[in-house]
Amino acid sequence: MEVRCNELLIASPSIHGDGNPWTVLPEGTEEIAILSDIDLLKLEARIDLLSQGYMSDENKQRYIAWLENPNTVIGEGSRHDAVKILGCSYYYRYNGWKDLTDDQRHDKLQEWNQQHCSPQLPDSEFNEIWKWIVKTHRTTRDAEHEKLRDAQTASLSSSLSTEKQESLDMPGCLSYQISITPSIWITGTLDNKLIEIERRTKKLDKDSNLMTTFLVTKKTFTACRSVRIIKHKNPLSFLELQPRYTIQFKGSEPSGNFTIKQKTIAEIVAELKNGNALCDNGIDVAITAQIKGFEKAGLLEVNDDMSYTGFFTNDNSSQIIPSGIQIPAVVDTQKLRDALEYINELARVGYQNRLDLLAHLILFGLIAPCSFIFKVIRAPTLEWLDFYGKPNAGKTSSGRIVLAVDGHERDDDYNVNMAHVDTTARFGDTVSVTTFPKLVDEMDFTDNKILVNLVKSAVDQPRLRKVLDRSRRSEYIPALSAFIMTSNPPPPVSDGALMKRLAARYFADKETHLKDSQTAKDFDALLSQLARLHPLGSFRNKFVMDNQRLVLDKKLTPFEKAKKIAIAAYESAQMLVPCWLVRKQLEQKHLEESIEDAKEAVRCAFENMIIDKLKTLKGINDLTAYPQSSLRFYTLVSNNMLPFARRIKEQGTGHKYTEFIAIDTGILGELYEYGITKEQLSNLKALADYIGASWKRTNGKTIIEVSNKQLEDYFGDEIIPSTRSAVSGWK
Which of 531, 559, 588 terminates a domain? The answer is 588
What is the average per-residue pLDDT within 713-721?
A: 74
Q: Write out the H or E segment, with its range, that includes residue 597.
A: helix 590-615
Predicted confidence at residue 252, as pLDDT, reads 87
Predicted confidence at residue 10, as pLDDT, reads 54
Give a yes or no: residue 487 inside a domain: yes
Distance CA 257, CA 254 (A): 6
576 and 595 in a single domain? The answer is: no
Give a yes or no: residue 443 inside a domain: yes
Give a yes or no: residue 360 inside a domain: yes
Rounded to 5 degrees, what angle do the CA atoms 645, 646, 650 make? 145
Q: How do residues 495-541 score in pLDDT, each as one tens digit?
A: 888 988 999 998 888 888 777 888 888 889 999 999 999 999 999 99
Which residue did the predictor score with more confidence, 369 or 201? 369
When mean pLDDT is compared across 290-294, 421-425, 583-587, 694-698, the lowest value belongs to: 583-587
46 and 101 in a single domain? The answer is: yes
Predicted confidence at residue 464, as pLDDT, reads 87
Give a yes or no: residue 308 inside a domain: no
Predicted confidence at residue 162, as pLDDT, reads 36
Predicted confidence at residue 581, as pLDDT, reads 92
In 307-393, the DSSP E strands lie at 310-313, 320-323, 384-389
658 and 580 in a single domain? The answer is: no
State the pLDDT confidence band at 469, using cuts at 50, 70 and 90: low
Q: How do residues 651-708 score in pLDDT, each as one tens digit?
A: 776 678 888 999 999 999 999 888 888 777 888 988 998 898 998 888 888 999 999 8
Structural domain that includes position 225: 175-303
Looking at every residue in the chain, the average pLDDT score rounds to 84
Predicted confidence at residue 161, as pLDDT, reads 36
Give a yes or no: residue 105 inside a domain: yes
Q: Write out the H or E segment, with its range, that includes residue 8.
A: strand 8-11
Q: How do residues 601-657 score in pLDDT, each as one tens digit?
A: 888 889 889 888 888 876 666 666 667 888 889 889 988 999 999 998 887 766 788
578 and 596 in a single domain? The answer is: no
Give a yes or no: residue 322 inside a domain: no
344 and 488 in a single domain? The answer is: yes
284 and 369 in a single domain? The answer is: no
655 and 644 in a single domain? The answer is: yes
Q: Write out the H or E segment, with its range, that includes residue 220.
A: strand 211-222
| Residue 379: count of CB within 10 angstroms of its CB | 21
Which residue did the predictor score with more confidence, 454 or 95? 454
Q: What is the pTM of this model?
A: 0.54
Which residue did the predictor score with more confidence, 655 or 265? 265
636 and 499 in a single domain? The answer is: no
Q: Residue 26 above 80 pLDDT?
A: no
514 and 622 in a single domain? The answer is: no
351 and 369 in a single domain? The answer is: yes
Predicted confidence at residue 29, as pLDDT, reads 54
Q: How do residues 150-184 score in pLDDT, each as one tens digit?
A: 665 554 434 333 344 455 556 667 889 998 888 89
What is the average per-residue pLDDT within 336-344?
A: 96
Distance CA 35, CA 48 (A): 17
State the pLDDT confidence band at 494, using cuts at 50, 70 and 90: confident
> Between the CA of residue 675 and those of 334, 448, 467, what are the distances in Å?
60, 17, 32
Distance CA 715, CA 7 (A): 81
* CATH number where 417 lies: 3.40.50
Which residue did the predictor score with more confidence, 41 or 487? 487
Domains: count for the chain? 4
Give a yes or no: residue 483 inside a domain: yes
What is the average per-residue pLDDT within 421-433?
A: 93
Is the link from the previous residue into 535 a cis peptide, with omega within 30 of 0?
A: no
Burial class (CB in 10 A: 0-12, 13-18, 19+), 549: exposed
Say if residues 636 and 613 touch (Cβ distance below 8 Å).
yes
131 and 187 in a single domain? The answer is: no
599 and 722 in a single domain? The answer is: yes
Give a yes or no: residue 731 inside a domain: no
